[in-house]
């Protein structure tokens, strides 16, 4: 985000928060208050995706975001008769969503992208930790930023605020600072609106915002992945992903290493162990994943390039979903690979749970019937 890098966010704000209820919202609200569930669905549907992304930023977890959104919509339905129309439906929903997230945070451990120091070369991957301690990847499609092709700046902002580094930095903030930072900078609520949402004062909001900015500035890289991807362009990024997948498919260590920076980091949540630098990453690749057979499909996660990795199963005779690699670039090289060992999430990224091998070629050069 620009409050930690690349200038002033005010110069490229997302559209300002709407503070007044529209006539259409008023009509739907009246119907919903009378028990019309369809009207309620129409009232909240325009906000669903953005609310889900907000919950993810707050919680660092796709599953927890699902729970928080469900709780938000249920609480909003129950509170319809108490909604006094002194704000927009958007503001009201974000107040409930933020409250739901803050309550959930109190019952969950803080999520991270790494635990402990980097492993020494030739160290075997460690035992997995509970999945509840890890940040989870977020599918770009869930943002719905392509729904409005007239707002490329808004799409840029939304993707920037779900990048892995930014979401990881958010988890270092106390919960209320996290909420203030997101409501003020990512969602463009005014200090007064945030104070009302969090039932505090404007000076308290401004103070929390300044502290949150200082902390994230220390943790987030100077250049966002969105800036890097835009500077490379679609063709070069497509070629980079294709080379990465091809090197893995052919188990070509030299080609794979050519794509990596010298200080590459490699993490594999929920495994505790992570590796830093080629001197540690290369032995990891040689001794473990490159001994297996893989196939790959491209996707996008957290506004970044990502690849679904499929491991050959001799018993089942197909490649099964295994790891989702999220790639962090520095220039035209890969500076970090975060390989989420979580096959269950593949469907959320539009990926199949298996890849079938190509049919064998007959002696005549044609596929058998």
Task: Give the pairing type, strands 318-330 and 304-313.
Answer: antiparallel
Give which of 52, 59, 57, 61 is closest to 161, Cα–Cα: 57
Which position has the token pair 């028990």?
35
User: Per-residue pLDDT for 98 more than 50?
Assistant: yes
What proportion of the chain, given as a percentage, has pLDDT over 90? 79
Topology of the domain covering 225-355? Nuclear Transport Factor 2; Chain: A, (3.10.450)
Architecture of domain 9-219: Orthogonal Bundle (1.10)
The pLDDT-based confidence of 153 (bands split at 50, 70, 90) is: low
Q: Where are the domains of the chain?
A: 9-219, 225-355
Confidence of residue 292 (pLDDT cuts 50, 70, 90): very high
3-class secondary-structure state, position 179: helix
- To the nearest 5 percent, what fractions of the chain are helix, strand and coil? 50, 15, 35
**Selection from 135, 117, 107, 130 nearest residue 304 by Cα:** 135
pLDDT at 15: 38
Write down the pLDDT at residue 361.
Answer: 53
What pLDDT score was predicted for residue 6? 41
What pLDDT, on the 0 to 100 scale, is given for residue 154? 56
Query: What mean pLDDT is predicted for residues 165-169?
Result: 97
User: Which helix (DSSP H) or strand (DSSP E) does residue 29 occupy?
Assistant: helix 23-33
Quick check: do 9-219 and 225-355 share a fold?
Answer: no
pLDDT by residue (tens digit) across 219-242? 999 999 999 999 999 999 999 999
Rounded Cα–Cα distance for residues 72 and 79 (Å): 10
* Range 251-254 contact pairs with CB under 8 angstroms and sequence separation of 24 or more: 251/290, 251/293, 251/294, 253/282, 253/285, 253/286, 253/290
CA 354 and chain centroid, separation: 23
Range of weakest confidence among 102-116, 135-149, 161-175, 298-312: 135-149
Q: Please give the residue that has the higher pLDDT: either 174 or 110.
A: 174
What is the structure's pLDDT at 7? 37
pLDDT at residue 149 tops 50: no
Q: Read off the pLDDT of residues 301-324 as tens digits, 9 standing for 90 and up.
A: 999 999 999 999 999 999 999 999
8 A C-beta contact, residue 252 and residue 285? no
User: Across the chain, what does the average pLDDT equal?
Assistant: 90
Which spans in 106-201 are helix H?
152-160, 164-170, 175-181, 191-198
Paired strand residues for 310: 295, 321
CA distance 135 to 129: 12
| pLDDT reported for residue 219 | 95
Render pLDDT for 318-347 as a digit per residue (tens, 0 to 9).
999 999 999 999 999 999 999 999 999 999
pLDDT of residue 362: 53
DSSP character for 209? H
């Amino acid at each position: 985000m620009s409050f930690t890098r690349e200038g002033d966010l005010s110069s490229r704000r997302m559209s300002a928060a709407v503070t007044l209820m529209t006539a259409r919202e008023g009509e739907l609200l009246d119907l919903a208050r009378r028990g019309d569930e369809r009207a309620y669905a129409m009232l909240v549907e325009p906000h669903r995706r953005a609310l889900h992304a907000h919950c993810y930023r707050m919680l660092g977890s796709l599953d927890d975001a699902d729970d928080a959104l469900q709780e938000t919509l249920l609480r909003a339905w129950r509170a319809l008769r108490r909604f006094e129309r002194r704000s927009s439906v958007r503001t009201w929903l974000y107040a409930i969503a933020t409250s739901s997230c803050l309550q959930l945070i109190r019952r969950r451990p803080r999520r991270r992208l790494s635990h402990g120091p980097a492993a020494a070369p030739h160290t075997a991957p460690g035992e997995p930790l509970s999945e509840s301690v890890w940040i989870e990847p977020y599918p770009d499609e869930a943002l719905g930023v392509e729904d409005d092709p007239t707002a490329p700046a808004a799409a840029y902002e939304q993707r920037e605020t779900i990048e892995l580094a930014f979401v990881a930095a958010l988890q270092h903030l106390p919960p209320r600072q996290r909420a203030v930072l997101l409501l003020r900078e990512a969602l463009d609520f005014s200090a007064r609106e945030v104070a009302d949402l969090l039932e505090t004062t404007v000076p308290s909001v401004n103070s929390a915002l300044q502290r949150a900015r200082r902390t994230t500035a220390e943790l987030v890289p100077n250049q966002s992945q969105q800036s890097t991807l835009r500077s490379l362009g679609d063709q070069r990024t497509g070629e980079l992903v294709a080379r990465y997948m091809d090197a893995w498919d052919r188990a070509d260590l030299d080609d794979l290493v050519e794509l990596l920076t010298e200080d590459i980091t490699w993490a594999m949540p929920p495994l505790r162990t992570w590796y830093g630098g080629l001197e540690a990453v290369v032995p990891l690749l040689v001794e473990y994943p490159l001994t297996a057979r893989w196939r790959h499909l491209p996707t996008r996660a957290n506004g970044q390039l990502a690849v679904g990795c499929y491991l050959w199963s001799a018993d089942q005779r197909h490649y099964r979903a295994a790891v989702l690699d999220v790639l962090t670039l520095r220039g035209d090289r890969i500076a970090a690979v975060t390989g989420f060992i979580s096959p269950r999430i593949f469907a959320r990224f539009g990926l199949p749970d298996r890849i079938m091998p190509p049919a064998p070629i007959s002696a005549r050069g044609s596929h058998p019937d």
